[in-house]
Each structure stands twice: as C-alpha cells, then as structure tokens.
Amino acid sequence: MNHPSDELLKTPLHDLHLSLGARMVPFAGYSMPVQYPAGLMAEHHHTRKAASLFDVSHMGQLRLLGPDAAAALETLLPVDVIGLASGRQRYGLLLNDAGGIIDDLMFVNRTDSHGDLLLVVNGACKVADMAHIQAGIGQRCEVLPLPELALLALQGPQAAKALQRLCPGIHQLMFMSGGGFEVDCSTGGATQLVPCFITRSGYTGEDGFEISVHQDHAAELARSLLAQPEVRPAGLGARNSLRLEAGLCLYGNDIDSRTTPVEAGLGWAIQKVRRSGGARAGGFPGAAKILAQLSGGTGGDGRKLVGLRALERIPVREHCVLQATDGQALGEVTSGLLSPSLDVPIALGYVLPEFATPGTRMQALVRGKPVPMEVVALPFVPHRYVRA
C-alpha cells in the first residue's frame, strides 16, 4: 500500500480533518492526520484524562463467513479461535512458515456458530494480509473484504461516558467484547440512528471503543462524537506515544516477519489449547519453532523484546544500537520517544536474553554518544481497561 504522495488515498474523514486544522502526512498509503492545532502533547494528555477520537479508517476490515471459518482461521493463527465465545474479541498473529509475524490483528466472533468472524488488520499490510488469508483458507470459508467500512477509535477514561449519551447500553460492554449498536447522530431535530459494530478495545492502554461504521456515515458519526464535551480529535503522533507508554508493539517497528511471538514477548497470546499438550496443539505455521521457544527450547534468534528507560534526558529513537557497558553488542532500539506522561525517554528494543531482566543497565548510542539505559517492566504506564 505504498503510493506516491500525489496518489495518497483519503479516508472518509479527510475533509473533516482539514476543517479541524489537522496537519496531514502520508501513512500506509493514506493521507492521515499526524496532529491537530493543540499539538501532540495536548492530545496525548487529553486522552489520558478525558477522551480522544482517532481516525483509524486506513486499517483493513474483513469477515470470514461459513461454518468452517473458525477452524480454518486456526490454521493461520497460533491462538484459540474455536473456543472464543460469541461477542468476544481476541488478539491474533498471522505467521509465516518460519514462525515470523506477517501481521498482528484483532478478531471478534459475531455469532454463536463461529461462522461469522470480523477481522481488523494493519493498514500497511492489509492487501497482503487479505491475499494471504484468501490463499490459505479461501476454499474453506468466504473471505469478504469490507472496503466500504470506516473505523473510529474513541479512547480515554471518559470515552464510555461520552458514547453512552449517543448509544445507551454501551457501558455494558467489557474489555475485548463487542456487538451491533445504533448510535444517535441526530441533528436539527431529524432522527438519525447509525448502525455500527462496536468493540470495547483500542491501542492506547486506556478504556475505549473501536467503532466500525459504513463510510457514508463516518463523518456524521465523528461530528456527533466530537460534539461531546469530553471528546477532542487526536492524530497519529499521540496514538504512537500512547501505545508505546502502554508497551504495545507497532508492526514494522517492534515486530515483523523475522520476529516470532515468543521473542516479542507475545507468548501470552497463544492459549493453552494451542500449546504442546493442548487439545489443538500446533497446526499453525512455524509451530515446531514457536512451541520449542515456549517450552524454553532452541529455535530462536537469541533475543528478547524489553522496555527501556533512559537515565539521561536524551530521547532514544528506533535503530539506535544497544550495548553492554563494556561495549558488547546487545541489539537495537525498535521504538523510542520522550514519554509525555512520565517526562522521561522510554523505548522498546531487542537484547540478548541474559540482559533482559528489569534493573539491567546498558547503553544506547545516540549520534555516537552513549546514553545510559535501564531495563524496566512493561507497560511503562499501567493499562486501564474495564474488565468487569
């Protein structure tokens, strides 16, 4: 999905972004808002204390339809799809034959029969993902791309309060659950109930919702949400700083086709039923390698993703080399910035396993200068999901 700058795609909210004074940048082949006039820091802090609206319509949405859909998807993912209850959502990983991550994604079971799964994949990967899924399981279920749908993310501790006014009953959703709702976007005395599929999820570490809506209604839905006193718009910059503080991986930075789930600290996403000894163990690409890594065996590249905090006020960006204090090469930083919430530089990076224990000291080379770093437990900022 790489396009020349003069051929960038536009989301259904493009004109609204411009009217709000957004600074637009190329991202995943789209023209996307990186920030609004208030700036990244203000957007970040507003999300942490109230609620922000993000346009994530560049993401890919598709449905898998048919009685064999769940079992078929399990041949591509190392996670429990068959056991996922109706209305529940799960994080998944598309893998290649070497156990590397083709993409990470979210999927939700829309029915009791497991015959209707809604998937959301990353924008930069969506064309390749859909082709991969079609080639892998298209003969077992219908793979239905949904390019007509937009996706909005309402994130922050007051997101439920704001959305509840327009969508009574939405507060009943818990983290990683979803369902069909009607959102009141009435204006000027004319009643307008917009059908949406809403999940209580997001990628900021805060409570919030992702709202799938037909592109024809996306702008009116966004305006109705922004009319709520708690809600302001936010762009890609704040989305990145929020997800990094939450210790969440960004595809293309922290995980890629050379990274296994275990190396990236994502072993938690592989349920017991798919592990060695489980009822449906293996059966996914790279299973032998990944199951060996999960059991502490061989098969990895000898690296582990860790959280890092700089001990000097010098931001450490991706691709900075990580060294032991004696100069031994350890790995490199994959994401890094000055944390708006903590006011210290933070980063994610891969290091040798023996250097992955919290409290371990090392250094990052920033323009040739060694910056002292310390391994810290993730997330940097505690998650505030509503689970019960």
| Model pTM score | 0.96
Burial 184-210 (b: 16+ CB within 10 A, else e): ebeeeeeeeebebbbbbbbbbbbbbbb
In this structure, is residue 216 part of a structural domain?
yes
**Confidence band for 296, pLDDT divided at 50, 70 and 90:** confident
In this structure, is residue 180 part of a structural domain?
yes
Distance CA 214, CA 340 (A): 34
In this structure, is residue 319 part of a structural domain?
no
In this structure, is residue 341 part of a structural domain?
no
**Confidence band for 300, pLDDT divided at 50, 70 and 90:** low
In this structure, is residue 186 part of a structural domain?
yes
Q: Residue 237's domain is classified under what CATH number?
A: 3.30.1360.120
Q: How far is CA 260 from the centre of its chain?
A: 17
Per residue in 60-80, pLDDT tens? Answer: 999 999 999 999 999 999 999
Range of the domain at 14: 5-59+149-245
**Total structural domains within the chain:** 1
In this structure, is residue 107 part of a structural domain?
no
Distance CA 373, CA 365 (A): 10
In this structure, is residue 344 part of a structural domain?
no
For the segment 372-379, the average pLDDT, to the nearest whole number, is 98
